[in-house]
């Protein structure tokens, strides 16, 4: 029995890293969509411990420290409302989303990249106004 008792305390990091927590704002909306606001499970447990979030849902999986055990949160809600970012992040995914995953020159879908409408060599900047999805 002693052996069984000890193995309960053996943590397997590899089996735990796949337990992200969805982080919701105080109004229950995700903090961000692309990418979706996720925390590693360690962050979620820390925030819950510090009373910064309320746990809405949990995984079945339990982690144990020397003094306590926790079920890993799967959804947490911030207790304090965070003002959402008004600007949409200029990311590859968001740009393709705006351009509906189509080349803006010929409409083809598939292997996409970016194109500067005014080339960088001629002073074109990397911005929402000057960059479009295009065939690679
Ligand atoms: Zn094209």
The residue ranges of every structural domain in the chain are 2-78, 92-135
Q: Which one is predicted more confidently, 69 or 54?
A: 54
CA of 35 to the centre of ligand 1 (A): 26
CA of 80 to the centre of ligand 1 (A): 46
Confidence of residue 101 (pLDDT cuts 50, 70, 90): very high
Nearest residue to 41 (alpha-carbon basis) of 67, 61, 66: 61
Is 82 a residue whose pLDDT tops 70? yes
Which has the minimum average pLDDT: 19-33, 53-67, 82-96? 82-96
Q: What is the Cα–Cα distance from 116 to 133, expressed in whole angstroms?
A: 9
pLDDT at 16: 47
Nearest residue to 85 (alpha-carbon basis) of 25, 11, 22, 8: 25
Neighbours of ion ligand 1 (CB under 5 A): 103, 105-106, 108, 135
CA 115 to each of CA 56, 97, 101, 109, 126: distance values in angstroms, whole numbers, following the listed order = 43, 15, 13, 15, 9
pLDDT at 113: 94
Hey, is 92 helix, strand or coil?
Answer: helix
Q: What is the Cα–Cα distance from 128 to 81, expressed in whole angstroms?
A: 29
Confidence of residue 3 (pLDDT cuts 50, 70, 90): very low
Is-contact 69 61, C-beta < 8 A? no
Q: What percent of the chain has pLDDT over 70?
A: 87
76: β partners: 23, 55
CA of 105 to the centre of ligand 1 (A): 5
């Amino acid at each position: 029995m002693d052996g069984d008792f000890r193995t309960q305390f053996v943590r397997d990091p590899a089996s735990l890293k796949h337990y992200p927590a969805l982080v919701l704002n105080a109004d229950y909306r995700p903090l961000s969509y692309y990418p979706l606001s996720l925390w590693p499970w360690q962050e979620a447990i820390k925030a819950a411990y510090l009373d910064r979030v309320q746990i809405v849902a949990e995984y079945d999986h339990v982690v144990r420290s020397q003094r306590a055990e926790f079920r890993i949160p799967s959804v947490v809600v911030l207790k304090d409302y965070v003002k959402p970012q008004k600007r949409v992040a200029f990311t590859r995914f968001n740009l393709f989303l705006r351009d509906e995953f189509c080349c803006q020159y010929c409409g083809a879908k598939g292997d996409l990249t970016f194109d500067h409408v005014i080339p960088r060599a001629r002073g074109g900047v990397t911005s929402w106004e000057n960059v479009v999805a295009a065939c690679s």
